[in-house]
Amino acid sequence: MGSPVHRVSMGDTWSRQVHPDIESERHMQSFNVEELTNILDGGAQNTALRRKVESIIHSDPELSLKDNYFMTQNERYEAAIKKKFHIQMLAQRLGWSEDSRELYYANRSLSGDLGLALQFVFQKALRSLGSEEQIAKWDPLCNKLQILATYAQTELGHGTYLQGLETEATYDAATQEFVVHSPTLTAIKWWPGDLGRSATHALVQAQLICSGAQQGMHAFIVPIRSLEDHSPLPGITVGDIGPKMDFDHSDNGFLQLDHVRVPRENMLSRFAQVLPDGTYIKLGTAKSNYLSMVVVRVDILSDEVIPLLQKACVIAIRYSVIRRQSRLRPSDPEAKVLDYQTQQQKLFPPLAKAYAFHFVANSLLEFFHRSYSSILDRDFSLLPELHALSAGMKALVSDFCIQGAELCRRACGGHGYSKLSGLPSLVTRVTASCTYEGENTVLYLQTARFLVKSYLQAQESTSQRSLPQSAAYLTAPHLARCPAQKVADFLQPELYTTAWAHVAARLIKDSVHHLQTLMQSGADRHEAWNQTTVIHLQAAKAHLYYVTVKIFTEALEKLENQPAIQQVLKRLCDLYALHGIMTNTGDFLHDGFLSGAQIDMARKAYLDLLLLIRKDAILLTDAFDFSDQCLNSALGCYDGNVYERLFQWAQKSPTNTQGNPAYEKYIRPLLQGWRSRL
């Protein structure tokens, strides 16, 4: 294993000595942690580059995160912009290109705590929806920060339902301009990051009206602030939406447009064009304007959402080998809380998910890259599956990351409630992911529509088209009963993958049956859908769980040359699959696929795995290789000196270093008032 020196970098005197309770966890290693880190990074060269970038970032005092927990909203915003400015200067000095791994690793090391993050979303949308000429014009302006752009889609009255957006862009053929307008209060753009105080331009999603007809949602580049003095341009009302649950460093804003005119060339035109005379030409499908959302969903899983769960696991599991409480036997010393099965039950399923989702994100990214170039060339054959997978995985992964991060926080007891633990900010930050880039329930149902179509296609004996790969199991031979006869059988990936495929296929069939029954009884298609959405939701979740299990098992097969790592990751894969079965036993018992006795076997296999994973738990969290500065947690540092750090950080709080403003005004008069009566 490589030296851990790069991880212990807070500069505290006690960091020179690792706490014995965490050191003992690293003493006997069943696998090479460095090799696993390399796998997670996509190669040893990436690990080396990442650590080099982190060393540069963490040696710069201007880029420190240590005061974040004590800052006001205004201070967080200014600090985030300052960090962005310094990163930009650093990138220019060191020759880091805009889409380089170096900048990606710099952002990771700063936990995404940088201003102007929506520039990235604007550029992703521009490259997906813009013509080559538009990309050539606007992309360099963004890269050089000559403009600051945001992505303005969500409105005060509409979010995930894009067809309901009220902002209008009416084409004026006389001037060859679009008139972009917010016709109602609820049409005000609401929530876009960087809009409140920073952005000079916005990519506004609006309903196109040309030649007297509505043509649906399209994207328009709208200047909103002066490049001279940053004041709002004519017709623009813009500002910050106020306090939020988290993301204090981001100036989420509102934008009201009063007949703002932009040139015809400012409508992104890869998939649709408006000619000078107002003729509308469609070059893509109705879904092509959603491509930018697909692109962003794929990226945010690996860049934003999954790392939050990984960090929560690192903090909670490290703290759980330092914290001692009660005795396992009366004669024993107090036990590490991670030695208790209930603590393992809290923390190991989220750890298994953190690893599962890493491989899921990689698989989704690979599928995206295979599909993306074809879509840009207007071959949309893979878009329905890409949309269904990206929407569904965004929902499933963010839901489980939210649950897992909160479990980790609660597993740390009272100290987990302290912001200094790092856990509350992880929880509140990941909580936003169930809403941004598509509300999760709506996304599950979009996946469900894809599954209904796939199921009906599978039932057509005359169909010559093959099913999308992720739904191919719907035509696989049906297995009525699980063949497991002993506990060890439930540790066979083929068995539990087949079990998940069976349940997902049954629930999809059931959802289609309920839908068709309602329609046959007289309900129209829309009403029938609404009356069966709870069933569709359940089917979509089972399908997505099956896909994640399948991806995890396939990732393990590629590790045959690293048997020790393959073994430890297989235990996490087993735990992930079995935890899903144990929390959804009714679905597996419903049609007798599993018996009560087999559920007991699965539970025994599951509980046995907790004990096996226990001995590798710290090593598995070390493999994520988050530096102490990146974690920014008094509980989660590599050295395990939890109590020293928590006490020191608390003493640095402004409430302890500044005077008490309430004493002279209120406390002293109260105390003296009682004394005079006495």
Of 652, 656, 657, residue with least CA distance to 66: 652
Write phi, then psi, for 181 (nearest 5 degrees).
-145, 145
Sheet of 189-190, strands arranged across: 189-190, 253-257, 236-240
Burial of 628 (0-12, 13-18, 19+ CB in 10 A): buried
Q: What are 163's strand-pairing partners? A: none
Would you say 64 and 11 are in contact if contact means Cβ atoms under 8 Å apart? no
Helix (H) / strand (E) containing 33: helix 33-41
> What are the Cα distances from residue 151, in Å, to 189, 243, 303, 437?
10, 20, 18, 11
In the predicted model, is pLDDT for residue 562 greater than 90?
Answer: yes
pLDDT at 30 over 90: yes
Q: Residue 315 belongs to what H/E stretch? A: helix 306-322
Q: How far apart are CA 458 and CA 467, in angstroms?
A: 7
Instruction: Output the pLDDT for position 5.
Output: 47
Cβ-based neighbours of 45, under 8 Å, separated by 6 or more: none
For the stretch 291-344, pLDDT in tens is 778 888 888 999 999 999 999 999 999 999 999 998 888 888 999 999 999 999
Yes or no: say if 117 and 250 are a contact pair by the CB < 8 Å rule: yes
* 588 neighbors 581 (Cβ within 8 angstroms): yes
What does the pLDDT read at residue 2?
A: 41
Rounded distance between C-alpha atoms, residue 118 and residue 115, angstroms: 8
- H or E element: which one contains 406? helix 383-411
Closest CA to 633 of 350, 352, 408: 408
Q: Average pLDDT of 161-172?
A: 92
> Tokens for 273?
């064009």
Q: What is the biggest distance separating any 2 CA atoms in the chain, rounded to whole angstroms?
A: 96
- For the question of residue 437 being annotated catalytic, the response is yes
Residue 495 to residue 492: CA distance in whole angstroms: 5
Is the pLDDT score of 70 beyond 60? yes
If we measure between CA atoms, which residue out of 198, 215, 197 comes closest to residue 206? 215
Cα 225 to Cα 140: distance, rounded to the nearest angstrom: 19
Predicted confidence (pLDDT) per residue in 624-659, tens digit: 999 999 999 999 999 999 999 999 999 989 999 888
Percent of the chain with pLDDT over 70: 96
pLDDT at 380 (0 to 100)? 85
The predicted model gives 414-427 an average pLDDT of: 97
Q: What is the mean pLDDT of residues 509-528?
A: 96
Q: What is the DSSP string of 599-664?
A: HHHHHHHHHHHHHHHHTTHHHHHHTT---HHHHT-SS--TT--HHHHHHHHHHTSHHHHS--HHII
Which stretch of 187-201, 254-268, 634-648, 657-671 has the lowest confidence by average pLDDT? 657-671
Bridge partner list, 169 = 180, 208
User: What pLDDT, in 10s, does the model give residues 106-139?
Assistant: 999 998 889 999 999 999 999 999 999 999 999 9
Say what the pLDDT of residue 464 is: 59
Question: Residue 329's pLDDT is what?
Answer: 87
* 191 contacts 154 by C-beta, under 8 angstroms: yes
Examine the pLDDT at 15 and tell me if it is beyond 80. no
- Residue 289 near residue 216 (C-beta atoms within 8 A): yes
Query: Cα(452)–Cα(507) distance, rounded to whole angstroms?
Result: 11
pLDDT for residue 160 is more than 90 = no
pLDDT value at residue 3: 43
User: Do 146 and 424 meet the contact criterion of CB atoms below 8 Å apart?
Assistant: no
DSSP state of 273: E
Continuous segment of H or E residues that includes residue 395: helix 383-411
Residue 280 contacts residue 215 (beta carbons within 8 Å): yes
Sort 562 into a burial class: Cβ within 10 Å, 0-12 / 13-18 / 19+.
middle
pLDDT above 70: residue 10: no
Determine which of 106-110, 162-166, 390-394, 539-543 has the lowest per-residue pLDDT on average: 162-166
Sign of CA dihedral 260, 264, 265, 269: positive
What's the chain's average pLDDT? 93
Q: How many CB atoms lie within 10 A of CB 264?
A: 19
Residue 502's closest CA among 385, 596, 573, 592?
Answer: 592
Question: How confident is the model at residue 86, as a pLDDT?
Answer: 94
Phi, psi of 161 (to 5 degrees): -80, 90
Which position among 437, 494, 527, 664 bears the catalytic label?
437
Q: Is 194 helix (H, G, I), strand (E, B) or coil?
A: coil
Beta bridge pairs of residue 336 = 324
Q: 406 with 427: CB under 8 angstroms? A: yes
Q: Give the torsion through C-alpha atoms of 599, 605, 608, 609, to 10 deg.
A: -120
Whether the predicted pLDDT of 590 surpasses 90: yes
Asked if 623 contacts 1 with a C-beta cutoff of 8 angstroms, the reply is no
Summary count for the chain: helices (H), strands (E): 25, 11
Position 16 pLDDT exceeds 80: no
- The DSSP secondary structure of 565-598, one letter per residue, reads HHHHHHHHHHHHHHHHHHHTHHHHHTTSSS-HHH
Higher per-residue confidence, 344 vs 98 = 344
Across the range 87-112, mean pLDDT stands at 92
Checking if the pLDDT of 536 tops 80, the result is yes
**What's the residue count for the chain?**
678
Backbone angles phi, psi at 32, to 5 degrees: -85, 110
Q: What tokens does 278 get?
A: 């107002």
Q: Would you say the pTM of this structure is higher than 0.85?
A: yes
Q: Mean per-residue pLDDT for 26-38? A: 95
